[in-house]
Copies of this chain bind each other. A is one copy, B any other.
């Protein structure tokens, strides 16, 4: 009988550092042809959209999907985990918190491989619920000592800075412009709901690593084309999905400033097929799509832990 795991079950089990390790292993498996990812498909609804994406991690014996409806925010994220070995459905997992953790952790993982190893200062543009886990994951991946946050609302950036300082045991201060927040930063996180670019070419310093994690629709942009083409290496968690979801890259390609062949799968970087960074002054860019492989990777571990610790409820008959 399948195990049903609630948001609070997941919250008890999964941490950001653990999720970074799991994604590391999963993207290495993908590079070795032992895991596959199927891009998100969407059905438009009267309000928002319905989203469905799937993945298999063969060596772990799991395959499955994440589904959710996105109206304002998103409701009803669920991961179904099946056995690849004929044992049927293993688990139904509520996946709102899990999705937030894996999205942050994907940026943490990319940062670990692509940023300068001695990076210590982080700039965060955006102060929403995803921004916290983005910062937490980057801080878990490298020896970060301080962070600055910018968002258009002063109240939001001050609130974020105070809360993050306490929760993450990190010195986080508000900045009052994009210029101020990126000044001297080693890693820049852009995680907004912007429809027009917030990080411009002029804001991109030498040697910086950028995580663009907010936009996953071709209606939304976070970086302008000069910021995109400033990067010596661009990686994304799924190139096929990026081709119809990642406006930052789509715009750069469509306007003739970039070729899709220059955009590399994160698995190539994590799997050691290409170096994440060649020179100290290189600019590197991770465009996060959010893919099912990430959900399956953390979901599999959460499920095994839950079985071991007797957490969750068996359903069905």
Contact of A54 among B7, B43, B58 (CB under 8 A): B43
Chain B residues with Cβ under 8 A from A4's Cβ?
A: 4, 315-316
- Which candidate, A76-84, A166-174, A188-196, is the interface stretch facing chain B? A76-84
Q: Output the least CB separation between A265 and chain B (Å).
A: 18
Asked whether A69 lies within 8 Å of B83 as measured between CB atoms, the reply is yes
A43-B63, A92-B92 given; 8 more Cβ-contact pairs under 8 Å: A2-B76, A6-B316, A41-B54, A47-B86, A50-B56, A75-B88, A75-B89, A313-B315
Identical chains bound together, number: 2
Q: Across the two chains, which residue of chain B brings its CB closest to A68?
A: B82
Binding site for B on A (CB under 8 A): 2, 4, 6-8, 36, 38, 41, 43, 45-48, 50, 52, 54-56, 58, 63-65, 67-69, 71-72, 75-76, 78, 80, 82-89, 92, 94, 313, 315-317
From A6, which residue of chain B is reached at the shortest CB distance? B317
Chain B residues whose C-beta falls within 8 Å of the C-beta of A316 in the assembled complex: 4, 6, 94
The contact sample of 14 A-B pairs, CB cut-off 8 A, is A4-B315, A6-B317, A45-B63, A50-B54, A50-B84, A65-B67, A67-B80, A67-B82, A69-B86, A71-B86, A75-B87, A76-B82, A78-B80, A315-B315
